[in-house]
Amino acid sequence: MAHGNARAHIGTVTAPSLSIWSPNLTLPPPIPRRRAGRSGALALGVALSILSSAGISTARAAASAADDPIGIWTGTLVADRGICPETRAPSTLQIGTRRIAFTPADGSQTLRGTRDGPQGIFHAQLVLSDMNHKPFPMVFEARPSGDTMSGTYGTPRCRAHVVMTRPGSNALSHFLGH
């Protein structure tokens, strides 16, 4: 090849035609297949860990609330008495090893509290001031009931109950692209 010719020579191609395939076109040799080495084993390990963690979260969802209350619980308040604007959207209960938090209607106000040990009662509260600077208490209490949490929410103008469940795990369906 001469110095002035900077073209790479891959194959022979004749004049352009309307056909995609030309009998004078020679293709480069195929790339040899590589055996699955570390990258294949790594991909397999990642896939198995995702699938097993999806199985663990499904198994945890089936555990009773009394045996394993730690985690996130959701449900919609149902008014028993008074005016309850908190019934418009689902509420969230977060239970930790020592503390709990309840967010009515997943709004901006969060009631905080503690776990009451072996009795299995969860109590959270928040005291605000109303327009007349009087205390406006908000109280939530929950107990395990089978695989759900049954709770009661109250303010001076509202009383409501809720049955909360663990949110479903979508890890496997997200992994599979559904």
What tens digit of pLDDT does each residue of 38-50 get?
555 555 555 555 5
Question: Across residues 135-148, what is the average pLDDT?
Answer: 93
Q: pTM higher than 0.95, yes or no?
A: no
Residue 2 CA from chain centroid, whole number: 63
d(CA 50, CA 170): 12
* CATH architecture assignment, domain 65-164: Beta Barrel (2.40)
